Amino acid sequence: MKSIGIVFINLGTPDSPDTAAVRKFLREFLSDPRVVEVPRVIWMLILYLIILPFRSPRAARNYKQVWMNDISPLRYFSQRLVDGAGRKLAADYPDVDIHTRLAMTYGDVSIASTIDELIDLGCERLFFVPLYPQYSATTTAAVHDQICKAFSAIRDIPQWGWVKSYYDHPAYISALASTVRQHWSENGKAELLLMSFHGIPKRNVELGDPYQAHCEKTAEALARELGLNDGEWISTFQSRLGKAEWLQPYTDKTVISLARNGSKTLDVICPAFAVECLETLEEIAGEACEFFIENGGNDLRYIPCLNDGEAHQNLLISLCRSFLEEKNVNFR
């Protein structure tokens, strides 16, 4: 029986919502040149003298607001998603010994240790699925770097492949649309649907990062799938860091502007986030909602991520199918 390892990869999370754990996570995350493209000496001074001392305690307080008992939302939903997809893959391919794992780009469990584990289990082929629908050098390329770094220490590298992006995959768009429709059936339809994507610096796009184009294509495909006309939806970018210009329009400023200009109800979905995390629960469901109401709006309704739902599991299986059946996949 063939033995195959499939690794689903998310960004990562602190081990606990205390300042020390958050500082450790932020140090690793923000030290990656893929994440912050600033001259290293200058950035290290900013990181160690300003960001880590001041941002870590504030971020820890925010994590405590969304922490789920002894685990972060990102790890909780990511693990349930991978477990569910793993069970379905095993049922769909009974003649293949499939080992599914969750790994993180930063923090535990690392990509390198997961690769070592799967090779020790006898996996001859490995497939990597970054849980980032839209490609960016700040996220997906960072995953690729970690994979290649791990393989650099291995003499007999297994055959491997990966998913670069799935921003317009029919199963992805369909899953998002189903989530929105379910929300509308339970809560009614707001005046406007706002699609909030994680932001990146504008300079990154000017240097060739396709992320903005991928986000725009996702938003357009989702609006089309939902039958929305121009004026019934808008896409924005959130979570900016520092003083440099990031992709616009900014989510927080848009929410405030909509409320001040008379909008009373607003639905918000975050298509770039596979599962709930600090940015969706604290920044959107919490902070953005407060901004909207404080500036004259009545109700901002956050639409949950795909999380561990069946449609999301089925999407992951669709992404893996080409590798398992050796069709139309970029083998290494």
| C-beta separation of 165 from 133 below 8 A | yes
Tokens of 264: 């009373």
Residue 195 lies in a domain: yes
Residue 24 lies in a domain: no
pLDDT in tens, 197-225: 999 999 999 999 999 999 999 999 999 99
For 236, the domain range is 170-303
**Pick from 332, 284, 274: which is nearest to 306 by CA?**
274
pLDDT in tens, 25-64: 999 999 999 999 999 999 999 999 999 999 999 999 999 9
Residue 225 lies in a domain: yes
Element (H, E) at 175: helix 170-187
Residue 127 lies in a domain: no
User: Would you state the pLDDT for residue 331?
Assistant: 45
User: Would you state the pLDDT for residue 190?
Assistant: 98
CATH code for the domain of 248? 3.40.50.1400
Number of domains the chain is built from: 1
Q: Tell me the whole-structure pTM to 2 decimals.
A: 0.95
Residue 235 lies in a domain: yes
Residue 197 lies in a domain: yes
Instruction: Indicate the Cα dihedral angle 60, 253, 246, 268, nearest 10°.
Output: 70
Residue 223 lies in a domain: yes
Residue 249 lies in a domain: yes
Element (H, E) at 264: none
**Pick from 97, 131, 115: which is nearest to 319 by CA?**
131
**Pick from 59, 12, 2: which is nearest to 282 by CA?**
59
What are 7's strand-pairing partners?
101, 128
